[in-house]
Structures are given as C-alpha cells and as structure tokens.
C-alpha cells in the first residue's frame, strides 16, 4: 500500500520502510519549539525529572512572543524562566525581543530557514502545523511532551489518516490563503479533519504564494487536523534557497507521495469560486462570504499574527490603506510578524502609510490574538481580525465578538467601520 507525504516522513524518522494509519511510532525530531507560555511548565518537568542537558542545543527554538514585550510581572517571570534555561543549556536559537531574527514564532521559523522539507517538527503551540507549507510534518504538542522530547530527541505519534484537498484554478482579487482555509473549514467543520493529515494537491497549488500556503497550514488545526502539508515545488525551493544558510536546491526524493497513496476522502476546491470570507463568532467554521449578510459595525481591527503577519500581508494592508483613513471610533492595530518584516515595512514606507491612515503599529507579538495585551476587547465590542481563532472570550471579554478575515477585508473594514470588501471603497 502506498504512503502519503506525512506517512513517508514519519516512517523515515521512525526507521521504518513503511507505516500505516493507526500505527504507533517513535520518531526522531529535527526541531522543537516552545514559547513563553508553554516552555516554563516544560522546564519545570525537565528539571523535576533531572533530565540534565537537552539532547541537541542546535535543534531547540525558544521564542518569547505571547506576553512579550512583557505586559506584567508574571509574564516577565515567565520570560526570565525561559531565558535562564536557554542560557544554562546554551540553546542556539533563543530569540530575545528586538534582536535580529526575532518575532512571532511561526513567522520567524520559516523566515530564519529553520524548517525544511521532510523534517519532523513539534512545538508546544497548536499552530506549529504552519511548517507543513514547506513540506515538513509539523504539529503541536503539550508542555510535558516538549519536556521529554528536549531530553530524548524523539517523541511518539499515532500515524494519522489523510484527507486529500485537491485545488484547481486561481484565486480572485482580494482573496488569499486565509480565504481558502476559512472556506475549507466552513466546508468540513471544526472537527472535519480530527487527528488527520490535510494533504494539499492539484494544479491550483502553483498559483498560491508561500505566504498563502503558510497561512493555510497554520489553520489546519482549526478543522481538527493533526497537520497540513504541501508538496515541494519551485516556489518552495526558491523560498528556502533564499533563507537557508548555504542555500537549498532539492527536496529528498522519498518525500513525495506514492501514486497509490490511500486517502480517507478527497475534498475538491476550485479557487476561482472563492470570494472574500469571514468567520463569524464563535467558531472558525461559521463562515460567510462578504456581501451576503447585513451590515456589521465594528470597534477594532487587528492585522498581523502568526497567520497573517508576513511582509506580503503588510503590503496588502498598505495597498488598501494608502491615501485613506481609519473610520472615526475604530481602533486599527497592525503587528508586523517579525523584526525583519518590521524593518522591511520601514524601508518600503509602509509604516508611514499605516500611521497616516490612523493605525497603531505594534512590536511583533501574539498579544491581541489570545486576548493577552495590545488589543484586548471590552464587553460587547466587535473586532475583525486576521488571527486564527474566534472562540468565546478569545480576544478579551466573553461577551466580545471576533470575526476572522483576510488582510484586505480587515483593512477595508477599518476604513468603512463595518465588515466590508475592498471593492466597496
């Protein structure tokens, strides 16, 4: 029986010729990730069990990005705990606030060339599935798993079943990877791919940018997926070659799925049929096409996060905001996803566009996405956000509302004061 991309990667890292859905395996790890929320509990477990030293100081990435820059004493202590551990263990990839390469974890891992095709990557953050855009198997784990993996360099998996998502056509104007994944989640539901691998195939992939693919894989977890993964093509190679030290020219031959690979089902999507989408509260699957619902006035817009904080996202926001101004009473917050993105925005004049339009530009942080800081919502407030979750109380008060959308819809909504497509400007 043939294997999918995910099954091949897991078999290779488990030292097996093949594996099938349902198999329990122990796989070697290429990269481990933790942030300022999940790493301190992992450190506690690591030290309580007297693991001593990490298995490989060059394969662990620690990023203080959720409550950093520190919002209070507790968050400062959390970050210090991680900082001290990184120093004592001589962790190579510890990214301090403000330093080169720093930013939101799932933006900087690809940006710094740390994820590669065929890798097995775990992170104590559910959106670690982002790196499937580069042909890696990447998935989120708990702090206990992270602690044990930091010591052993391995972890266990149940090999997931797979759903093939077959893409054809090209996206319409003002549509992006965010609209694709919201459309898919709306189609199959928040548990439609529960503990399954979402494997994207089809000629439509070639029209998607790497930013589109990273956004799509980032939200694979929002329909229950164990991981999302794209095949490696010329765009992937070009992206990696510009970011990996020494360059990157070719994915391993064993990585690509077999012709007789078995999928639980196939979901077909014609990209040309997708229009700008919005997910209403309080589930990412509660999707609606912009223009098919009554006017919804808003209080806040957030553009950024690990889902849509890349430079391409900033360019799209600037294109909509340039020469326009945020509506009275609307708070528009823009968060470049990394120091590198921030610097490029500065160089290209995007920051001036944002400020002239009446936006607040923040340091790279996850803060607003999880209702932590830099954009917390009050009771009854409504926010259009390019983040990835809109659960009850996700961005603040339990009676606030979060509407998920792509960058251009978010920017247009900030200008008009209600949820809208840029076509309305």
What average pLDDT score do residues 1-8 get?
93
Reading the block at residue 123, the tokens are: 């992170």
CA-to-CA distance for 208 and 191, rounded, in angstroms?
A: 25
What average pLDDT score do residues 221-240 get?
96
Can you give the pLDDT at residue 245? 87
Q: What are 140-157's pLDDT values in tens digits?
A: 999 999 999 999 999 999
pTM above 0.75, yes or no: yes
CA-to-CA distance for 346 and 340, rounded, in angstroms?
A: 10
Counted residue by residue, the chain has a size of 425
Q: What are 30-42's pLDDT values in tens digits?
A: 999 999 999 999 9
DSSP letter assigned to residue 103: B
Q: What are 344-392's pLDDT values in tens digits?
A: 999 999 999 999 999 999 999 999 999 999 999 999 999 999 999 999 9
Can you give the pLDDT at residue 394? 95
The answer to whether residue 100 scores a pLDDT higher than 90 is no
CA-to-CA distance for 294 and 309, rounded, in angstroms?
A: 29
Reading the block at residue 336, the tokens are: 């470049």
Q: CB–CB of 141/124 below 8 Å?
A: yes
Q: Please, what are the domains in the chain?
A: 11-271 (3.30.499.10), 276-424 (3.30.499.10)
Pairing of strands 154-158, 24-28: antiparallel
Q: What are 42-56's pLDDT values in tens digits?
A: 999 999 999 999 999
The answer to whether residue 185 scores a pLDDT higher than 90 is yes
CA 383 from centre of chain? 19
Q: CB–CB of 308/339 below 8 Å?
A: no
């Amino acid at each position: 029986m043939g294997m999918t991309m995910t099954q091949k990667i897991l078999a290779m890292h488990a030292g097996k010729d093949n594996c099938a859905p349902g198999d329990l395996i122990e796989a070697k790890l290429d990269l481990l990730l933790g942030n300022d929320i999940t790493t301190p509990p992992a450190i506690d477990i690591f030290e309580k069990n007297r693991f001593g030293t990490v298995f490989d100081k060059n394969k662990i990435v620690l990023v203080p990005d959720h409550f950093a820059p520190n919002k209070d004493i507790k968050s400062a202590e959390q970050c210090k705990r991680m900082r001290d551990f990184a120093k004592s263990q001589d962790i190579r990839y510890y990214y301090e606030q403000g330093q080169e390469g720093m930013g939101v974890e799932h933006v900087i891992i690809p940006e710094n060339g740390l994820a590669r095709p065929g890798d097995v990557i775990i992170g104590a953050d559910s959106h670690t599935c982002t790196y499937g855009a580069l042909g890696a198997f990447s998935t989120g784990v708990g702090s206990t798993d992270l602690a044990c993996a930091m010591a052993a360099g391995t972890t266990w998996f149940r090999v997931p079943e797979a759903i093939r998502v077959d893409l054809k056509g090209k996206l319409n104007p003002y549509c992006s990877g965010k609209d694709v994944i919201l459309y898919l989640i709306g189609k199959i539901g928040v548990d439609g791919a529960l503990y399954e691998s979402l494997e994207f195939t089809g000629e439509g992939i070639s029209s998607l940018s790497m930013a589109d693919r990273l956004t799509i894989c980032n939200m694979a977890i929002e329909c229950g997926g164990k991981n999302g993964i794209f095949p490696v093509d010329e765009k992937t190679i070009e992206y990696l070659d510009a970011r990996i030290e020494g360059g990157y020219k070719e994915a391993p031959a064993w990585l690509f799925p077999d012709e007789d690979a078995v999928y639980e089902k196939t979901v077909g999507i014609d990209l040309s049929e997708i229009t700008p989408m919005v997910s209403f509260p309080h589930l990412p699957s509660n999707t609606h096409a912009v223009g098919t619902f009554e006017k919804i006035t808003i209080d806040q817009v957030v553009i950024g996060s690990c889902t849509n904080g890349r430079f391409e996202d900033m360019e799209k926001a600037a294109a909509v905001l340039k020469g326009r101004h945020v509506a009275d009473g609307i708070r528009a917050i823009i968060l470049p996803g990394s120091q590198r993105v921030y610097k490029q925005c500065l160089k290209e004049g995007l920051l001036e566009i944002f400020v002239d339009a009446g936006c607040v530009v923040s340091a790279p942080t996850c803060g607003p996405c999880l209702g932590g800081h830099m954009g917390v919502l009050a009771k009854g407030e409504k926010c259009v956000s390019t983040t990835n979750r809109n659960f009850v109380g996700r961005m603040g008060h339990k009676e606030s509302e979060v509407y998920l959308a792509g960058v251009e819809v978010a920017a247009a909504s900030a200008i008009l004061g209600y949820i809208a497509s840029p076509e309305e400007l």
